[in-house]
Chains A and B, each alone.
Chain A
């Protein structure tokens, strides 16, 4: 396990002692955690794993290419889920970001903590969990997926955007204020131009992530490729699973390429 030596820098003896103690704690904690995990593992299954792996691997190949036609609609659904979800996320995240940023928040004392909580809550809950909840509430379908993606995106976009807003150049803002511009005009003329490139970069970046996430949201019933994956897994149709995974992989690679191109063009 942790085979890195602890004294990578010269420190005072006291700090070094503290560091050694820290490592010791880590080792002890690791051993304890390992034991807890062992208790809850059925080792018979683990010993059986190589056989299982070989078995699944054998069944997975070759992919069932004829299934590809059936995947086109789910693929379209997945792309829509990501795109519309990102759109929803952006629409919700922008006001939250402006409320969270110290220099633009209208009532910092009340609105800032609220906005920051929204951001933290959205960020700490994975889109799959959001989808799980929304499917339970709204029923299975794309709508639940879109809202899940949107809710998860608020935190990501909101956080990066509000940090961007806080880093804007105060002198440009002052210069526009000094012309007698209203608050809204200052926002429009001094702050928005400064954060616009970051905004597009963040949005495209999130869209790229959302493509990956929307591909699996179907596992909990939110439609798209994940739904087909779930069905194929349930019926143990391994050749179909392989094909779906390949389609997901291709989509992800493509979207990553698109997002890298767009971001390079913006910056």
Chain B
């Protein structure tokens, strides 16, 4: 269970990215975070594991306040939070296995990690996760030899290797094509439901959010302006989040895509087989 209380972040440049954000995420819930560009979605996610230091407010994960922890305690708490990044953020020159095992770094000492001698249980878990995301045969490949979708699967395996109590996901599909995006989202949702893992998924694509999320939070200019189920996310709610102009443009873009797709299909169908 994660609880945010009055979270505020003002960057050194004076941008207030978050102002007084409060909500809680119960066990097993998958929350989609939507909002226009610059609304503060990434900032919110990065504040939770303190990659970005919040200006004020409290972050409580399973009864522990994460704000104001010292370096050592912060390390121990960060292991409880898995993070998945938009551009995968794998260490490109390490092997897939090393990338997955790096999720255990918070648990093993420096020497063991330096010599790559992880405990047998960790290695077993890493293999199981690689199998789960369908990359068993790629364990000894270098990460930069994988495709985008495969890299994101490694990213998922790395986050899960931490045995987290919370998953933070920052635009997991923004660098992927629509089909792979769906596959990745489905995998994420399956894994979360299997183990009752709560997740906050920052996502650009509204239809994708509506399809996969149980709850949606809309952020605008650093403030929560919507909090409800996908069914409650009506036209007017979306206009409230994105502003009327942006939302119309977005929907139009979407329809254009659909039109183009339909058009392409039509053309293909008239081609001689």
Contact = CB atoms under 8 A, between A and B. Distances in A.
The A contact surface, by secondary structure, is: helix
Contacts of A190: 91
Residue from A171, A172, A176, A196 with most neighbouring chain B CB atoms (10 Å): A172
B9 interface: no
B225 interface: no
B51 A188 contact: no
A180 B85 contact: no
Nearest to B86: A171
Interface string B77-110: 1110101010101111110001000111111001
Contact of A175 (B77, B89, B98, B106): B89
Interface in A169-192: 169, 171-172, 174-182, 184-185, 188-190
B105 A179 contact: yes
A6 to B, nearest CB: 42
A74 to B, nearest CB: 41
Contacts of A171: 85, 87, 89
B93 A196 contact: yes
A194 interface: yes
B262 interface: no
Residue from A180, A181, A190, A193 with most neighbouring chain B CB atoms (10 Å): A180
A188 B93 contact: no
Contact of A188 (B85, B89, B114): B114
A172 B105 contact: no
B75 interface: yes
B162 to A, nearest CB: 6
Interface in A183-213: 184-185, 188-190, 193-194, 196-197
Contacts of B75: 180-182
Interface in B68-82: 75-79, 81
Contact of B91 (A172, A182, A184): A172
Contacts of A178: 49, 51, 78, 81, 83
Nearest to A170: B89
Given A179-B105, A181-B102, A172 B92 contact: yes
Contacts of A175: 83, 85, 89-91, 155, 158
A38 to B, nearest CB: 58
A181 B78 CA distance: 8
Contacts of B106: 179-181
A180 B76 contact: yes
A179 B89 contact: no
A21 to B, nearest CB: 41
Given A181-B106, A188-B113, A189-B105, A176 B91 contact: yes
B94 A193 contact: yes
A197 to B, nearest CB: 8
B250 to A, nearest CB: 27
B91 A179 contact: no
A179 B93 contact: no
Interface residues of A, number: 21
A239 B132 CA distance: 75
Nearest to B78: A180
Interface string B145-156: 000000000010
A155 B206 CA distance: 53
Contacts of B94: 189, 193
Nearest to A171: B89
A185 B109 CA distance: 9
A184 B106 CA distance: 11
Contacts of B78: 177-180
A171 B98 CA distance: 17
B113 A185 contact: yes
B90 A184 contact: no
Contacts of A180: 75-79, 105-107, 162
A193 B77 CA distance: 26
Residue from B76, B81, B89 with most neighbouring chain A CB atoms (10 Å): B89
B76 to A, nearest CB: 7
B201 to A, nearest CB: 16
Contacts of B87: 171
B162 A193 contact: no
Contacts of B155: 175
Contacts of A197: 93
A171 B170 CA distance: 12
Contacts of A182: 75, 105, 110
B102 A176 contact: yes
Contacts of B49: 178
14 contacts: A169-B92, A171-B87, A172-B89, A176-B102, A179-B104, A179-B158, A181-B106, A184-B110, A188-B110, A188-B113, A189-B94, A190-B91, A193-B91, A196-B93
Given A179-B78, A194-B92, 7 more contacts: A172-B89, A180-B106, A181-B102, A181-B113, A184-B110, A188-B114, A189-B113
